[in-house]
Amino acid sequence: MARGGIYCVMRSDELRNADRKQWLRMDLWKMVVIRVESGINCEVIAVQNETREEILSKIHGVDALLWATHIKIDKEILDAAGSQMKTIGSMSAGYNHIDLEELKKRGIKMGNTPKVLNAAVADTAILLGLAASRRLHEGRLLIQDGKWNPSEWILGQDIAGSTVGIIGLGGIGSATARRLQAFEVKEIVYTGHREKPEGIELGARFIPLNESDYLIRNSDFIFVSVPLTPETEGMCNEEFFSKMKKTAVFVNTSRGKVVDQKALVKALKQGQIFAAGLDVMTPEPLPTDDELLTLPNVDVNFCFHTGEVPRQKTREAMGKLTVENIVKGLKGEPMITPVVSNGRTNTRRTKNRTLTVTGRRKYFNLPIHIAVNSVYYYCVIG
Measured CA angle at 213 (ends 276, 295), to 5 deg: 15
Is 380:315 a contact under the CB 8 Å cutoff?
A: no
Bond from prior residue into 285 cis (ω within 30 degrees of 0)? yes
Beta strand 44-47 with 221-224 is: unpaired
Q: In 10 A of CB 316, how many CB atoms?
A: 18
Q: Is 305 a catalytic residue?
A: yes
User: Residues 6 or more apart from 287 whose CB is under 8 A from it?
Assistant: none
H-helix or E-strand spanning residue 189: strand 187-192
Catalytic position from the list 60, 70, 193, 305: 305
Distance of CA 301 to CAs 93, 106, 304, Å? 19, 38, 9
H-helix or E-strand spanning residue 6: strand 6-9
Give the integer Cα–Cα distance in Å for 13 and 358: 14
CA-derived radius of gyration, the chain: 23
The torsion angle over the Cα atoms of residues 208, 209, 210 and 213, rounded to 10 degrees, is 100
Instruction: Go through the chain and tell me how many residues it has.
Output: 382
Tell me 306's DSSP state.
G
CA 58 to chain centre: 25
Give the integer Cα–Cα distance in Å for 341 and 110: 7
Selection from 252, 304, 281 nearest residue 69 by Cα: 304
Give the integer Cα–Cα distance in Å for 366 and 242: 58
Q: Please, what is the angle between helix 136-144 and helix 118-133, to 10°?
A: 60
Is 165:216 a contact under the CB 8 Å cutoff?
A: yes
Give the integer Cα–Cα distance in Å for 241 and 243: 5
Give the integer Cα–Cα distance in Å for 281 and 170: 20
List the catalytic residues.
Answer: 305
